[in-house]
Structure 1
Amino acid sequence: MKKITDERLILLNLKNIRIAFIIQTLGVLGILGYDAVKKGLEGMTENPLWLVFIITSVILGYLSMSSSVDHESEKINPKKSLMISLVVIILISTVVGFLVSRTEGFTMNNGVIIGGILFICALIPVVYTYKLRVNRLDENTED
């Protein structure tokens, strides 16, 4: 099979892949919606398609971050952006952890665990975006 070199055909191919992805995602959401109606939320999350949908959404989010960092028109200081994001994440995680620990039926341990999980889940995309911005800054300085 020959590699496609015509940019118009490559763009058409990417549009076709996007349409197929949208249809596939709508099908998965339809099946999960049917499970949610028939079996409830617990039955829906037990379906293996739920895991496929979650993994696909996370990967799509990370790929979108990569293209959005490349699309940024103004130069953003990666370290300053990282520090601001870290402060915001710490504040949000602390507030959520405190509110969970103050909720009836939950202990301080529950608040620390949920705040820690929230911090880690928010930290991963922030560090990934920082790395993308540093790499882009290095590529621009080499040119």
Structure 2
Amino acid sequence: MKKITDERLVLQNLNNIRIAYFIQTIGILGILGYDLATKGLDGMRENPLWFVFMITTVISVYLSMSITADHENNKNKPQRSLNISLIVLFLISTVIGFFVTRTDGFKIIDGVIMGGILFICGLIPIIYIYYLRKKRLDENNEE
């Protein structure tokens, strides 16, 4: 099989993949919506399609982050953006952890655990986007 070198055909192929992904996502959401209506939230989350949908969504978001980082045209230093993102993430995690402790039936340890989980889950994409911005800045400085 020969590799496609015509840019128009490559673009058309990528558009076809995008359309197929969109239709597949609509189908998965339809099946999960049916499970939600008939079996409830727990029944929907027991469906293996839930796991496939979540993994696909996370991978799609990370791939979009790399394109977004390459498309940005701001001249801000990546370190400054990292610091601001970390401060905002810490504040959000702290506030949510505080509100969890104020909820009936939850203790301080529950708030710390929830805030910690949110902080770690937010830290991963923040560090990834920092890496992409730093790499792009280094590439631009070499040119």
Which bracket does the TM-score occupy, shorter chain normalised? Answer: over 0.9
Aligned to 2:21: 21
Question: CA RMSD of the aligned region, Å?
Answer: 0.6
Task: Supply the distance in 1 between the matched residues of 2:23 and 2:89 (Cα, whole angstroms).
Answer: 35
Secondary structure at the residue paired with 2:3? coil
- The offset of 1:109, in angstroms, is 0.5
Superposition deviation, residue 76 in structure 1: 2.2
CA distance in 2, matches of 1:109, 1:74: 41
Q: Distance in 2 between matches of 1:42 and 1:76?
A: 44
Letter in 1 for 2:86: L
Once the two structures are TM-superposed, the CA of residue 131 in structure 1 deviates from its matched residue by 0.1
For residues 76 and 46 of structure 1, the distance between their equivalents in structure 2, rounded to whole angstroms, comes to 44
Q: How many residues align?
A: 143
Task: Map Cα deviations across residues 11-69 of structure 1 (whole Å, 9 max, x no partner).
Answer: 00000000000010011001001111110111000000000000000000101111011
The letter of the residue matching 1:11 is L
1:107 aligns with 2:107: yes
Unaligned runs of 5+ in 2: none
Map Cα deviations across residues 92-119 of structure 1 (whole Å, 9 max, x no partner): 1111111101111000000000000000
**Alignment-derived partner of residue 133 in structure 2:** 133
Partner of 2:36: 36
Spell out structure 1 runs of 4+ moving beyond 6 A: none
Q: What is the one-letter code of the residue matched to 2:38?
A: K
Q: Percent identity?
A: 66
The separation in 2 between residues aligned to 1:79 and 1:100, in whole angstroms, is: 31
What are the equivalent positions in structure 2 for 1:17-96 lying under 5 Å apart? 17-96=17-96
Matches of 1:67 and 1:95, distance apart in 2: 31
How far apart in 2 are the matches of 1:76 and 1:10? 33
Deviations 1:105-139 (A, max 9, x none): 00000000000000001111000000000000011
The aligned amino acid for 1:72 is E
Q: Distance in 1 between matches of 2:36 and 2:20?
A: 24
**SS of the residue 1:26 aligns to:** helix
